[in-house]
Structure 1
Amino acid sequence: MEPTVQFFSGFALSDMWFMAQAAWRTLVISVVSISLGTLLGAFFGWVLYEGKFWATAGLAAFLDVFRSVPLLIQLVLFFNLAPIVGLNLDAFASGVVVLTIYTAALVANVARGGLEAVGTPMRRAARSLGMSYWQALRHVVFPIGGRAVFPSWIGVALGVMKDSALVSVLGYVELLRASQILITRTQEPFLILAIAGAFYFALSFPVARYAEKLEQRWAIR
């Protein structure tokens, strides 16, 4: 009698470690993309607020493309078109590039809203104290405007962290991709997805709670 071939196996402790490693990869690609995208988006927001019409019109149209086209399509198109122009990027690098620009497109309007939240009288007051344009921007406009739009930025950051799951289509083994692999092997989708959801919650909840406490601290001041 021929031995039975075992295709499936139950969920094991090693699988939990595999998912934890995938959650770490999710955190890494999210932190890198959000950080770079926030810096780039703040610059874009400043250009949209201070720039001339010819500059802002082109930039606004460019950002609208990344805000309007689904992120999944952006990832697939970039990953397949990049080698044609000589960019041989792996799944992680491709995901970072697309997520960074996607984040910047979302943050740009948030940053512009923060700049608009600081009224002209406050800007003039800063200049009357002897500050240069850049000093007023650094010490007055950005701190006050940043506090005004901080909740919106947190929403963008948490959204991008969850959207990073789409990088799995490129073969990057983050949390969602790891869950798909384990579901195929264990045939336990409810258990695997529940654990994946718990990992996403563990990544997102501390950020949301810290942001809430930071807002309360600013409100007291």
Structure 2
Amino acid sequence: MQYQFANQGLAWSDAYFLAEGLLNTVKLATAATVVGTVGGIVLGWLRTVSVTAKVATAPFIDVLRSVPMIIQLILANSFLSILGFGASPFWFGTVALGAWMSAVTAEVVRAGLLSVPVQYRKSARSLGMNDYQELLYISLPLAFRTGLAPWIGLVLSLIKDSALAGVVGYVEYMRSTQILITRTHETWLLLMGAGFLYFLICYPVSRYSRHLERKVRV
């Protein structure tokens, strides 16, 4: 997207530019959440049933959980550029943020599955359920209750961390705000507006998660 820099104040056309950035943020956060959650569920389950899988996935999970996201984005982007792999900023951001989401979600899923009482699993076996039936009808629903609140916290962190995708050229909401700050020098106004918009995105997610928590406990 081309944007003309001129020494002028804010204009009504800038609202469209910011709205476009906001839409990009929502698209990136949604895609990364879906990719990371699906990957995290698979990884978390594997880490509870196989020692080999637990050992093999430990470096991936430990590195992504420990290294700041901005460092991961910059290094991965540079590494892929050296290798000659081209990808749009959106897909690169989705993969990078999705990988982090899968690593942290895997630990939430693992902890949730391990919190299921052994007696419940034995009861399922006594009723004739196989491993996958027990996982689907017993362990996953109980793990969902345990892991819902931590997972929502991860989603909120992902929404805010999506602002870091600007370092790889993706024009999300924070990047579009920075572009307007550079042009207009309306720093306080634009940053307060950005903070308010992120609040408007995150607060409904947080409130709805509380509704879900009360619902699943019934």
The one-letter amino acid paired with 2:62 is D
- Report the Cα distance in structure 2 between the residues aligned to 1:79 and 1:116, rounded to whole angstroms: 36
* SS at structure 2 position matched to 1:11: coil
Aligned-residue sequence identity (percent) comes to 39
Q: Structure 1 length as normaliser, TM-score? A: 0.93
Q: CA deviation at 1:63?
A: 1.0
- Report the Cα distance in structure 1 between the residues aligned to 2:156 and 2:200, rounded to whole angstroms: 12
Q: CA deviation at 1:24?
A: 0.9
The one-letter amino acid paired with 1:211 is S
CA deviations on 1:121-165 (whole Å, 9 max, x unpaired) are 001111211211101101111111111110000000100110010
- Report the Cα distance in structure 1 between the residues aligned to 2:6 and 2:32, rounded to whole angstroms: 38
Q: 2:142 aligns with which of 141, 144, 168?
A: 144
Moved more, 41-50 or 147-156: 41-50
The one-letter amino acid paired with 2:166 is S
Give the length in aligned residue pairs.
214
1:124 aligns with 2:122: yes
User: In structure 2, what is the equivalent of residue 95 of structure 1?
Assistant: 93
* SS at structure 2 position matched to 1:148: helix
User: In structure 1, what is the equivalent of residue 18 of structure 2?
Assistant: 19
State the Cα RMSD in Å.
1.4
- Report the Cα distance in structure 2 between the residues aligned to 1:35 and 1:193, rounded to whole angstroms: 28
> Which structure 1 residue ranges, 5 or more long, are not aligned?
1-5
User: In structure 2, what is the equivalent of residue 3 of structure 1?
Assistant: none
Moved more, 38-47 or 54-63: 54-63
Larger Rg: 1
* SS at structure 2 position matched to 1:173: coil
Counterparts of residues 20-99 of structure 1 (less than 5 Å): 20-52=19-51, 54-99=52-97
Q: CA deviation at 1:70?
A: 1.2
Q: CA deviation at 1:86?
A: 4.2
Q: 1:212 aligns with which of 189, 207, 210?
A: 210
Q: Structure 2 length as normaliser, TM-score? A: 0.94
Q: CA deviation at 1:180?
A: 0.5
Counterparts of residues 176-191 of structure 1 (less than 5 Å): 176-191=174-189
- Report the Cα distance in structure 1 between the residues aligned to 2:177 and 2:61, rounded to whole angstroms: 32
- Report the Cα distance in structure 2 between the residues aligned to 1:56 and 1:170, rounded to whole angstroms: 32
Instruction: Give the 3 Å change call, closer, same or farther, for CA 83–7 of structure 1 in structure 2.
Output: closer
- Report the Cα distance in structure 2 between the residues aligned to 1:122 and 1:86, rounded to whole angstroms: 51
> Which structure 2 residue ranges, 5 or more long, are not aligned?
none
CA deviations on 1:147-205 (whole Å, 9 max, x unpaired) are 11100000001001100100001111001100100001111011111111121111111
